Every structure is written in structure tokens, then in C-alpha cells.
Amino acid sequence: MSDAERHILVVAHARRDDTVDAAQRVISALQAAGAHPVLATDDRDELSIYLPECADLPALDIDVPVTDIELAIVLGGDGTILRAAELVRGGSAPILGINMGHVGFLAESERDDMDEAVARAVARDYRVEERLALAVRVKDAAGSVIYETWALNEATVEKASRERMLEVVIEIDGRPLSSFGCDGVVVATPTGSTAYNFSAGGPVIWPTVEAIAVVPLSAHALFAKPLVVGPEAAVAIEVLARTDGTGILWADGRRSHDLPPGARVVVRRSSRAVRLARLHPSAFTERLVQKFHLPVAGWRGPDQLTTGSTS
């Protein structure tokens, strides 16, 4: 791919002044380096109000197909990164997140390091990390597929009405595990283990561990603890016919589908991973400490192993 053909997607909301300023800097830096910034249609419309020059930039899927996108540079928090993952799903572009929000767990750089991050993106000085994603399929009571989607963080089956309880049965690899009433069930990837799964009391899973977490929400049952299953497991959640109400499926909190009694949600590993661009080789432990401000005072340093040592 020649420099003249390099298309880099810039994903940014025009809802905050600092994000607009950051978008202008990134777009200018890309153009100065000979790359071609591309915007999603909605982003172009919003940014053009504050940056009229954005109106002349090519639009994703209209002027430039997603398969021609080399990289997506995302200015925002985890929600914006999830939106970017949705935008580039049809291609192979990795996502480079620059945190403009609060926690920004998926982001690779902070706003103070933005210029360096863009320079390294232009120089292709990054490595690509593939993250497990979920394929989600909804079947009706007759077994017909009525909806399909995917998720990077989690697929969640929830009750649709606050005053109603959802009656579900959990199935793992074609075998029923338990039925109970609950507020819902979260099925999360390692990437999503620090998101909704974490808030629901599920385990934090290191990105290098390929696994799927299943976490009931406020379940009325003796056996309704968080589970960790293998990456090739098929997890099914069936909304029992006796449910007094309906449920709703959410994928990454962005895409939803109503679940009537008898509906069945099947979640398994997607054949297509999400690709993240990484600039720093920092350990996941360091990311946890930094993002969650965990107390580590008193740590004396790692053990210095010597020949014959077992501790």
C-alpha cells in the first residue's frame, strides 16, 4: 500500500471542546504526513459545525469502503472505542484509542500523549493485538433465527420491565445447568471483564486468557454464581415461557433486540476477532492499577529468583 492510498479513520464526537480540538490536531497531522483522514458520516456532520474543513473529508462507506481503512484512531472513552469497533467490523483495521474520557480502559494512550500516538500510527510503529469477540444469535420459540449480532465486551439478557423478574435457564454446550429468576445474565469476554461483568461481580480475566464469563444478575437461586467457561463453549440463555413479561438483549450496550417468552439467545466465540493497536508493552496488571487507582503501597518488588530457589 503506497502512502497516497493510506486511509485512516478518525472517530470523534463533537460534544466536547477538547475532543473537537483533538480531532483538528489529528486530522491536520495525518494530512501533513500524506495520509487521508476519513470520517463516519455522523461524525463528519457534527464536526463540520465547528470545523468547516471537515465537510470536505471523505466519508466512510460512501467515499471510502471499510476494507480500505488502514487504522482507526479513536478520540474518546470506551464507549467511543466500542462504536469504532462497530464501524470497522466489516474490515481488518486495528483500533488505536486515545482516551478523552475518564477510565478509558480500552484506550492505548492518554490525551497528553496524543501527538506521539499519531506520529507512531503514521509510522506504523505499533503492534496489533487480537481480542476475542462474541457471536450472538437469537432464536424464537420455534427455533428460527430472528436476530444476529456480535459483541466485543458483552452480550446481556435483561428484564425489560423493572417490576418484572426474568425467568431463564442457562445451558452450556447443549446441556442445561440451572434455571432461576433474575434481573438478567451477562456473557462477557476477557476484554469486557472490566466493564459490566466487573460491576456485576464477575471475575477480571486477563486478555491473554481465552475464556467467556457468565454472570447472573440478582438471581434468586442457590446456584447462580459467576462461571468461566472455555472459549469454544456455546452459552445459551432461554427466556422461559412462564416468564411474566419480556426480556431484552443488549450487545455492548449499543445494539438491542426484544426477547419474548420462549426466546433463546445463543452466545459463542466469533470467528472474527477485534484488532487493537498497541503502542506500549505494559502489563495488564499495571493497567488495572492505573485505571482503577488500586492501592499498592508497601509492595517490596518482585521476587529475585536465584538458582535452586522455589519461592
Closest CA to 19 of 116, 111, 112, 119: 111
Per domain, the residue ranges of the chain are: 3-131, 134-269
> Per-residue b/e over 126-142, b at no fewer than 16 CB within 10 Å?
beebebbbbbbbbbeee
Q: What pLDDT, in 10s, does the model give residues 198-227?
A: 999 999 999 999 999 999 999 998 888 999
Is there a catalytic annotation at residue 125? no
Quickly state the pLDDT bin for 309 (edges 50, 70, 90). Answer: very low
Percent of residues, the chain, with pLDDT higher than 90: 78
Output the pLDDT for position 1: 45
Say how many C-beta atoms besides its own lie within 10 A of residue 146's C-beta: 15
**Which of the following is catalytic: 78, 244, 252, 303?**
78
Q: What pLDDT, in 10s, does the model give residues 134-188?
A: 999 999 999 999 999 999 999 999 998 877 889 999 999 999 999 999 999 999 9
* Site of grid cell 434455571: 179
Q: How many angstroms separate the CA atoms of 3 and 285, rounded? A: 37
In terms of residues, how long is the chain?
Answer: 311
CATH of region 3-131, choose from 3.40.50.10330, 3.90.870.10, 3.40.50.300, 1.10.3720.10: 3.40.50.10330
Output the pLDDT for position 310: 44
Output the pLDDT for position 162: 78
Question: 152 near 130, Cβ under 8 Å?
Answer: no
What is 134-269's CATH number? 2.60.200.30
> Per-residue b/e over 224-258, b at no fewer than 16 CB within 10 Å?
beebbbeeebbbbbbbeeebebbbbbbbbeeeebe
In the three-class reduction of DSSP (H, G, I as helix; E, B as strand; rest coil), residue 194 is classed as helix
Quickly list DSSP for 195-237. THHHHTTPPP--TTS--EEEEEES-BSSS---EEE-TT--EEE
